[in-house]
Structure 1
Amino acid sequence: MPTHDCPHTHESHPALINRLKRAYGHLNTVIQMLEDERPCNDIAQQLYAVEKSITKAKRLLIADHIDHCMSHILETDDPQKELEQFREITKYL
């Protein structure tokens, strides 16, 4: 549960949703490729694309959070609490 006053929706969220929907489609393609017994190199290439897409989405989300939610960290009543939230989200990088 969030303990700060940052809005849960950011400008980057629509782009993130689109990116994740594309990754979802690619992942479905991987499943179909496996069912169709496609070559392993083709499947690995597609999985790599899915992985990269999700990694980019994650980094965008975290960077957006840092830019918009953590920028006020030193101006809060409890900067230590805000720093802990920063440490918490960076473990996902």
Structure 2
Amino acid sequence: MNQEKTSALTSLKTAKGQIEGIIKMMEDGRYCVDISNQIIASQALLKKANIMILKQHLHHCVKDAVKNDNGEEKIDEIIDILEKLIQK
């Protein structure tokens, strides 16, 4: 597994732990603002993981596809992802 995937996996595992903690906070009736702050922190980790996965995809999959003259589909996939990210 390369560095980007390893870092993304670490971020995802951390986010998973945070989400489990958020669920416990809600079950315990914790203060709403504290819960919201934890949700924001989890979202940041998910965004970070997504960026690392996309970076890995560009550096490896898209780069290889372009070298082999069949990169159009990979480029379109990245454009679709960017459109989803921008629309949010």
Give the shorter-chain TM-score range. 0.7 to 0.9
Q: Which structure: greater helix fraction?
A: 2
Instruction: In structure 1, list runs of 5 or more residues that go unmatched.
Output: 1-8
Offset at residue 92 of structure 1 (A) = 4.9
State, as a whole percentage, how many aligned pairs show the same letter: 26
TM-score (norm 1): 0.75
Listed as ranges, the gaps of 5+ residues in structure 2 are: none
Larger Rg: 1 or 2?
1
Normalising by structure 2, we get a TM-score of 0.78
Determine if the alignment matches structure 1 residue 62 to structure 2 residue 22: no
Give distance in 2, aligned partners of 1:75 and 1:59.
23
> Which residue of structure 2 lines up, in the alignment, with residue 35 of structure 1?
27
Q: Deviations over 1:10-60 (max 9, x none)?
A: 332222211111100000000000011011110000000000000110011
Report the equivalent of 2:64. Answer: 72
Alignment RMSD (CA, Å):
2.0
Name the SS of the counterpart of 1:38 in structure 2: coil
- In 2 relative to 1, CA 82–53 (structure 1 residues): closer, same or farther, beyond 3 Å? closer
Q: 1:79 to 1:17 in 2, by over 3 A?
A: closer
